[in-house]
Every structure is written in structure tokens, then in C-alpha cells.
Amino acid sequence: MLMKLAGKIAIVTGAGRGIGRVTALALAQEGAHLVLAARTVSELEVVAEEIRSVGREALAVATDVAKKVDVDAMVQQTLKRFGKVDILVNNAGFADHKAIPDISEEDWDIQINVNLKAVFLCTQAVFTRMCAQGSGHIVNVSSLAGKYYPYKMAAYSSAKWGLGGLTGVTQEEGRPHGVRAILIRPGNVDTQMQHDNHDVYPEKLMQPEDIAAVILLALTQNTRAYTPVLDVYPSENVQKEDSWEAKWYGSSDEKKRELYRK
């Protein structure tokens, strides 16, 4: 069977669980060898073993992607082991939804750092080499919070809107050198971060496999075509009727004043 990514070297951040884990496994099934980056190396090693079981190579690297020294070390390990980087999937993310008056400086910094700064650091670490080799894909996993203006998500939404700008500039600078940047904006996906921040019907959520399939589509699109942004929505409304989101978006301004910060 012809594998679409045979021999490609892919870095996936946040690869220990959720969308990152499933994406790494999907890329391995298509022939790619994987570098798995996250802070919890024990989770990465489990995924690495799954990848090796299908005949691909996998390197697990404990990485705080919001720290330049960690990112640079991870990329250097990648180059030492494989000699190149063909694909970067910036998937690591963090959310802690609060109303603006309740967001501390620390809350703000961690969400900007993990959701935006980390993507810049990882992109910067591979960009020059990708341009020199004349090819490469950088896939940035964002959120529909980077398309709309969701209540209680000022820090997270700001980072995701910024990620859209970073992706566009990466594409503009990379395109003449054969490097593509693609923005994926999923809606509600069945991940721990989703359950930590939203009151939803679990059975209506998209699964990580749905997003991995979209990422794979972006990576295997014929070079004569280019899709810069892919938005992925659940087929049904996932919010429970008594959730704070349902109450907020279905309310008058007077009612919203009563609900604010509850």
C-alpha cells in the first residue's frame, strides 16, 4: 500500500494525549517517523511504543514548548537522529476560561505563552532548515476561538487570534521557499481541556480522530492547491441547555449583566 508520508520526519507538540497523540499515530500510519514533544515524557513513551509497533521510528523528548532552550534542544535532537524536519504540527495548548476581571497576569501569560509564543519558538527553530531544503509543512492547531469572540476566553481567544496572524506571515515568508503554513481551527473536541472548561454533551463532541484526519488532509494536498485555513465544526450544538455558555448567548444584555462572572 502506498503511504502518503513515507520517510517524512514529523514533530508533533502536545503529543502525549488528545489531538496530538491521535495525529502522531495517524502520521505514522501514513509512513512518517515521529518526534513527540511534551512536558510529560511518560505519556510520550506510551505513544512512541504505539508508533514503533506499526514499524515507524519514534523519539520522545520532554519539552516545555514555551521555553526557547527546550525547543532548540528538541529540534537539535531531531536533526541528530533523523537529519531533517519535514513536518511540524504545533498542537500543544492550554485554556483556563475566565471573565476579564478574573484573569490574573499569570493566567494571561501562561495562555499566551503556550498557545502563541510556543508556536513561534517551534516555527522559528525549524523554519530556516525547511526553507533551505525547499520544502516543509507547518500545521498550527488553533481554535474557533480564534475566529469568533467567545465570552470568558479573553486570554485564550487573544492567543488564537494571534496564531492566525503568525500562520499567515509564516506562509507568506515560507511560500517562495516551498514551505507551507496551514491553520486548523477546530470547534468542540472530546479532550480533557474541553471538559475542564465547558459543560457539554460528550456524545456530541468531535473526536480527536476527526481533527487528525483534517491535519492529514492538509499535509497530503497536491502542491498545485493550497488551503490556508480549515475550520472544523461539530455537526450538532454541543452545549448543555443549562451551561453558562447557553445562558449567556441566549440572553438579553440585562440578563447578561446578571450572569457576568458567575
Instruction: Give 144-178 as a DSSP string.
Output: GGGTS--TTBHHHHHHHHHHHHHHHHHHHHHGGGT
Q: Residue 202: its pLDDT value, please?
A: 72
187 backbone dihedrals φ, ψ, rounded to 5°:
-85, -140
Q: Residue 204: its pLDDT value, please?
A: 73
Mean pLDDT by 10 residues, the chain (262 residues): 90 97 98 98 98 98 99 99 99 93 97 98 99 98 93 94 99 98 92 60 82 97 93 76 55 62 56
Q: Residue 195: its pLDDT value, please?
A: 60
Q: Residue 199: its pLDDT value, please?
A: 55
Could you tell me if 120 and 217 are in contact, meaning their C-beta atoms sit under 8 angstroms apart? no
Nearest Cα residue to 48 out of 70, 71, 20: 20
Q: Residue 235: its pLDDT value, please?
A: 81
Q: Are strands 179-186 and 58-62 parallel, antiparallel or unpaired?
A: unpaired
> Can you give the residue range of the structural domain that contains 188?
9-259
Nearest Cα residue to 158 out of 139, 145, 140, 171: 145
> Does residue 194 form part of some domain?
yes
> Does residue 2 form part of some domain?
no
Whether 201 is catalytic: no
Show the cell assigned to 5. 508520508
Could you tell me if 78 and 85 are in contact, meaning their C-beta atoms sit under 8 angstroms apart? yes
**Grid cell 456530541 — which residue?**
204
CATH number of the domain that residue 174 is part of: 3.40.50.720
Question: For the chain, what is the domain count?
Answer: 1
Which letter, b or e, does each residue of 228-249 get, where b requires 16 or more Cβ atoms within 10 Å of its Cβ? ebbebebeeebbeeeebbebbe
From the list 148, 149, 151, 156, the catalytic residue is: 156
Q: Residue 68: its pLDDT value, please?
A: 99
Distance CA 65, CA 92 (A): 8
Across the strands, what pairs with 189?
A: 206
> Does residue 117 form part of some domain?
yes
> Does residue 203 form part of some domain?
yes
> Does residue 3 form part of some domain?
no
